[in-house]
Amino acid sequence: MDVSNLLLKQLLEELEEGVYFTDAQRTITFWNKGAERISGYSRREVMGKKCSENILIHIDSQGQPLCSGDCPLAKTLADRLVRQADVFLHHKDGHRIPVRMRAFPILDENQQVSGAAELFIDSTLKLDLQTRLQELQQMAMIDHLTGIANRRIIENYLWSRMEELRRSGWPFGIIFFDIDDFKALNDRYSHRIGDGALKMTAQSLQANIRSIDQVGRWGGEEFIVILGNASMAILKTVAEKLRLLVEKSVFWGKGKPISVTLSGGATLARPEDSIQSLIERADQLMYQSKKAGKNQVRFY
């Protein structure tokens, strides 16, 4: 496909979806504005590089790397089949974003594979998320460092969920996360690096919860995720997914890759709970995770 065609370029640049082309060796030859917006990487930073160099560092839901392993685009180059997959790309700022991608073969005039195209779209409900964030900002309930809900709105949200549980029996659960060895991170690098870790963690959590869930910063390096309509199975699945995605997130600070892990405690709410008793139970479970070796979640 000849992307030098002006009209084609204009059409591709207007797409909300990210689009990039590679040659047969997986060297990136085109990168549209949608790809820049979703990934954070500019065209200048990726053109001429191979996607196998782990630019987007795609991983699957099990945390397995795809760009250097089971790459859908590489398979499409090999067998010409169109593929679709739900994966998690690595944003330039460090956090993980769920995307739905499709890979297409590009054929030359002799019907030989000359490259491939990948189209990817942010899987999060962006419009809903933007609306929610605007409402939170209007009520001065955003944590200004991380951009997610602060403790005040989390307390209000918990109160509403407790009333629904007592009145209508609608179940919910919470996950209490704490960044492991956060003080050591600040002491070794700087508070600026610590702030970067907080932002990366917050955005990885925010981008990967369901539309009926809520995440907020409880204080310091502590975060709470509130899961609506939750069972213990849902609680375990979501908690482990979020823990894994944060572990696999990374950002650069002082020329070094910085990553963190989370210890967590997760529990379902009970009608006799108060907000305090619910938080304390999850907090104690989190400390059990710390004592057991960190980077894990304990469940009640």
Residue located via tokens 């679709």: 84
The residues near 231 (Cβ < 8 Å, ≥ 6 apart) are 171, 268
Q: How many angstroms separate the CA atoms of 210 and 175, rounded? A: 14
> Which phi and psi (to 5°) does residue 149 adopt?
-60, 145
Q: How many angstroms separate the CA atoms of 290 and 9, rounded? A: 52
Q: What is the DSSP letter of 249?
A: -
- Check 17, 36, 118, 221 and give the catalytic one: 221
Sign of the dihedral through C-alpha 182, 184, 185, 191 = positive
Q: Annotated catalytic, 155? A: no
262-268 and 297-299: which strand pairing? Answer: parallel
H or E element, residue 18: strand 18-23
**Chain-centroid distance, C-alpha 1:** 32
Selection from 158, 160, 193 nearest residue 267 by Cα: 158
Q: How many angstroms separate the CA atoms of 259 and 244, rounded? A: 12
DSSP character string of 86-135: EEEEE-TTS-EEEEEEEEEEEE-TTS-EEEEEEEEEE-S-HHHHHHHHHH
The residues near 276 (Cβ < 8 Å, ≥ 6 apart) are none
C-alpha triplet 292, 294, 297: angle, nearest 5°: 85
Beta bridge partners of 142: 149
Q: Which residues are designated catalytic?
A: 221
